[in-house]
């Protein structure tokens, strides 16, 4: 397969990867972006598209979906080329850059590589249930992208973390009946969510059952009941929809073996440009670690900006580069077709 040439290859189309397209564009570096998923947005789109985020500067309240849309709009003038359903697999050094190949066999030749892979592939943990596959994406789901399909359903939400409680609270008002199933009385979710859930249970707005999910009842992917066990007894909860929130099995997979210095499953970077131990390969967003690292979207934005100012020196080694504000950037003026600078 022919190599696809790009100045920068960004691995991951989450918020950090999308903002990296913009920051690289501002310094005149074009980018291709690959993502395992079929769409952009990373965790914001996969895990909480309709939840409001409150700590994006100058955006007092913005949902995961809206943030993704704005980031796509912001980077669009730089014409990034997206390759979805592509998982980065190998990294090879070339004389003046790198070759990254994907699981499907695509090969990218890039001057710089920006790893913005978050916690790795966003794969939900699946309980070891018989015939689970038969029901998946028909009546058993691991994420809620839209609430409406769940209206008037008999829903069981299994899990004790933030996602389980958030969605139980959100969906209970539109469900015919909603049961939260968790194996113990203690929850990992935020105390405020737990308190709200308990109030709703007391008010009869949802049901809570103690138990561990043990089986699915139904035929041809159509769920009729969820089986669970508690204190040696098995019981059934009538349901046509099961939402499983047992966390994510986030793994970087092959990227971990690219030879970076790693710590706790994250890539170690220095903090002047968020470059890894391989010169010319950067790591930004949740995937990187350094003293004081916070897994926040705004940290990824900051990291993207500093990364771009070093990445440009690899792409144009002979060019004298000077820092420019976006307000006076000729590149921005040209890309946004502004009549005159500033
Ligand atoms: C429920 C919840 C609420 C949150 N609330 C907030 C909040 O209020 N404020 C805040 O700042 N943060 C919040 N966060 C955290 C925030 O979502 C993350 O910090 C942010 O998404 C990290 O962005 P990222 O681009 O680094 O990684 P991600 O969003 O994880 O995106 C990484 C992308 O890389 C892709 N990828 C991974 N491996 C590969 C590979 N090998 N090849 C190709 N693609 C790959 C993935 O498919 C994914 O799309 C929240 C997180 C959750 C789960």
Q: Tens digits of per-residue pLDDT, 268-298?
A: 999 999 999 999 999 999 999 999 999 999 9
Residue 228's CB is within 10 A of a number of other CB atoms, namely 23
Is the Cβ–Cβ distance between 187 and 271 less than 8 Å? no
User: What mean pLDDT is predicted for residues 87-92?
Assistant: 96
Domains 3-122+249-335 and 132-244 are alike in CATH topology: yes
> Which candidate, 20, 16, 39, places its Cα nearest to that of 110?
20
Domain ranges of the chain: 3-122+249-335, 132-244
Q: What is the pLDDT of residues 151-189, one digit of tens each?
A: 999 999 999 998 899 999 999 999 999 999 999 999 999
Nearest-angstrom CA–CA distance, 44 and 64: 4
Q: Which of 22, 43, 252, 304, when mutated, tests ligand 1's pocket best, judged by the most ligand atoms within 8 Å of its CB?
A: 43
Query: In the prediction, which pLDDT does 342 show?
Result: 44
pTM over 0.75: yes
Reading the block at residue 28, the tokens are: 């005149």
SS3 of residue 44 by DSSP: helix
Pocket flag, ligand 1, residue 47 (CB < 6 Å)? yes
Say how many Å lie between the CA of residue 32 and the centre of ligand 1.
19
Q: Answer whether 36 contacts ligand 1 (Cβ < 6 A).
A: yes
Judged by DSSP in three states, 4 sits in strand
According to DSSP, the β-strands at 212-219 and 222-230 are antiparallel
Range name among 1-5, 62-66, 198-202 with the lowest pLDDT average = 1-5
Ligand 1 mean position, distance from CA 118 (Å):
5
Which residue from 117, 123, 121 is spatially nearest to 287, judged by alpha carbons?
Answer: 117
Q: Report the share of the chain in percent with pLDDT over 90.
A: 87
Q: Is the minimum distance from the CB of 37 to ligand 1 under 6 angstroms?
A: yes
**3-state helix vs strand vs coil in the chain, percent to 5:** 30, 30, 40
Architecture of domain 3-122+249-335: 3-Layer(bba) Sandwich (3.50)
Q: Is 13 in the pocket of ligand 1 (CB under 6 A)?
A: yes
CA angle 42, 263, 257 (to 5 degrees): 75
Q: Which of 42, 100, 290, 298 to mutate to test the pocket of ligand 1 (most atoms within 8 A of CB)?
A: 42
Whether residue 11 has its Cβ less than 6 Å from ligand 1: yes
Neighbours of 235 (CB within 10 A): 13
pLDDT at residue number 325: 94
Stretch 308-317: mean pLDDT? 97
Q: Whose C-alpha lies nearest to ligand 1, atom 30? A: 118
Going by CATH, does the domain composed of 132-244 fall within 3.30.230.10? no
- Residue nearest (by alpha carbon) to ligand 1 atom 15: 296
In angstroms, rounded to a whole number, what is the distance separating the alpha carbons of residues 165 and 198?
Answer: 10
Is the pLDDT score of 340 beyond 80?
A: no
| Residue closest to 295 by CA, chosen among 36, 118, 57 | 118
- Verify whether ligand 1 is closer than 6 Å to residue 172 (CB atom): no
The H or E element containing residue 330 is: helix 330-335
Q: What per-residue confidence (pLDDT) applies to 74?
A: 97
Question: Residue 339: what pLDDT?
Answer: 67
Does residue 131 have a pLDDT over 80? yes
pLDDT tier, 50 (very low <50, low <70, confident <90, very high otherwise): confident
Q: How is residue 124 annotated by DSSP?
A: B
Which band of pLDDT confidence, cut at 50, 70 and 90, is reported for residue 140? very high
Q: Are 175 and 151 in contact (CB under 8 A)?
A: yes
CA of 37 to the centre of ligand 1 (A): 12
Atom of ligand 1 nearest to the CA of 102: 42
47 confidence band (pLDDT: 50, 70, 90): confident
% of the chain beyond a pLDDT of 70: 98
Identify each DSSP E strand in the chain by its residue range.
3-11, 31-35, 52-53, 62-63, 81-84, 88-94, 97-102, 107-115, 140-141, 154-158, 177-182, 207-210, 212-219, 222-230, 233-238, 241-244, 262-263, 266-268, 281-283, 288-289
pLDDT of residue 62: 97
Question: For residue 98, what pLDDT is reported?
Answer: 98
Quickly state the pLDDT bin for 23 (edges 50, 70, 90).
very high
């Amino acid at each position: 397969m022919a190599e696809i040439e790009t100045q920068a290859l960004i691995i991951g189309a989450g918020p950090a990867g999308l903002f990296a397209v913009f920051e690289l564009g501002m310094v005149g570096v074009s980018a291709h972006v690959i993502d395992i998923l079929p769409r952009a947005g990373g965790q914001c789109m996969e895990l909480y598209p309709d939840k409001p985020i409150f700590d994006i500067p100058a955006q007092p309240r913005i949902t995961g979906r809206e943030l993704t849309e704005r980031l796509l709009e912001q980077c669009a003038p730089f014409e990034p080329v997206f390759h979805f359903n592509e998982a980065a697999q190998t990294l090879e050094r070339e004389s003046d850059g790198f070759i990254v190949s994907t699981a499907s066999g695509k090969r990218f030749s890039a001057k710089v590589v920006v790893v913005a892979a978050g916690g790795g592939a966003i794969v939900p943990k699946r309980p070891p249930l018989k015939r689970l596959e038969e029901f998946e994406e028909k009546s058993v789901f691991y994420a809620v992208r839209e609430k409406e399909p769940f209206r008037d359903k008999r829903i069981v939400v299994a899990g004790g973390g933030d996602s389980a409680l958030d969605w139980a609270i959100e969906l209970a008002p539109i469900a015919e009946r909603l049961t939260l199933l968790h194996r113990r009385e203690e929850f990992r979710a935020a105390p405020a969510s737990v308190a709200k859930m308990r109030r709703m249970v007391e008010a009869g707005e949802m049901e809570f059952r103690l138990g561990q999910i043990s089986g699915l009842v139904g035929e041809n992917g159509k769920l009729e009941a969820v089986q669970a066990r508690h204190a040696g007894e098995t019981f059934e909860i009538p349901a046509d929809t099961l939402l499983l929130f047992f966390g994510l099995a986030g793994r970087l997979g092959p990227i971990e073996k690219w030879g970076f210095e790693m710590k706790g499953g994250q890539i170690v970077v220095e903090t002047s440009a968020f470059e890894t131990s391989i010169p010319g390969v950067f790591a930004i967003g949740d995937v990187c670690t350094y003293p004081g690292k916070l897994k926040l979207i705004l940290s990824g934005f900051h990291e993207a900006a500093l990364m771009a100012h070093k990445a440009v020196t690899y792409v144009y080694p002979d060019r004298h580069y000077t820092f420019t504000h976006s307000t006076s950037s000729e590149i921005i003026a040209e890309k946004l077709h502004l009549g005159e600078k500033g």
